[in-house]
Homo-oligomer: A and B are copies of this chain.
Amino acid sequence: MTVDLHNYVATVENFPEPGVSFRDISPLMGDGVAYKQAVDEIAVFAKQLNVDLIAGPESRGFIVGSPLAYALNIGFVPARKGGKLPRKAVSASYSLEYGGENVLEIHEDAIKPGQRVLIVDDLLATGGTINATREIIEKLGGVVAGVAFIIELEALHGRDKIMQGEREVPMLSLMTY
């Protein structure tokens, strides 16, 4: 028996900016059944891709990626916001959805050349954080085996930005809005 994950998404109008409908997966994460179902659905996708590691951007990507890594018995690599990692790291910058720029970083020793990495996040909007995470993984010699999201906001065309050129990778979204 499965639940309809849509019932565990809270839609908040005009957040963080007027006119924006924010899709909040807190209710999904707070419910043991829905949370496990979502993680397990992504785990099936990850197994098909033979991934060695899960990576997720700070900080909601941690809540999707770390249980997934646990479920697959593999490691989790956080892509942290700039200046937070204590050891030597590789970084990439990206434009914020609502203006400004940010930096993500991954420890240099977190990914070995040739390792297959699945990037996950709670929500795909414009794709900026995902492309920055991908850039770092590839600088470290890793292979982005795929990308997965709980929610994809189709109107923002993040999928096209991730896939542009010859950079197509397998992608899973559990829900689209």
Contacts and interface: CB of A to CB of B under 8 A. Distances in A.
A44 to B, nearest CB: 15
B24 A69 contact: no
A29 B78 contact: yes
Q: How many copies does the complex hold?
A: 2
A75 interface: yes
A128 to B, nearest CB: 17
Interface residues of A, number: 40
A72 to B, nearest CB: 7
Contacts of A169: none
Contact of A87 (B24, B29, B80): B24
Contacts of A71: 67, 70
Interface string A49-82: 0000100001100110011011111111110100
Interface string A27-63: 1011111011001000000000000010000110011
Contacts of A75: 29-32, 35
A22 interface: yes
Interface in A70-106: 70-78, 80, 85-87
Interface of A: 10, 12, 15-16, 22, 24, 26-27, 29-33, 35-36, 39, 53, 58-59, 62-63, 66-67, 69-78, 80, 85-87, 107, 109-110
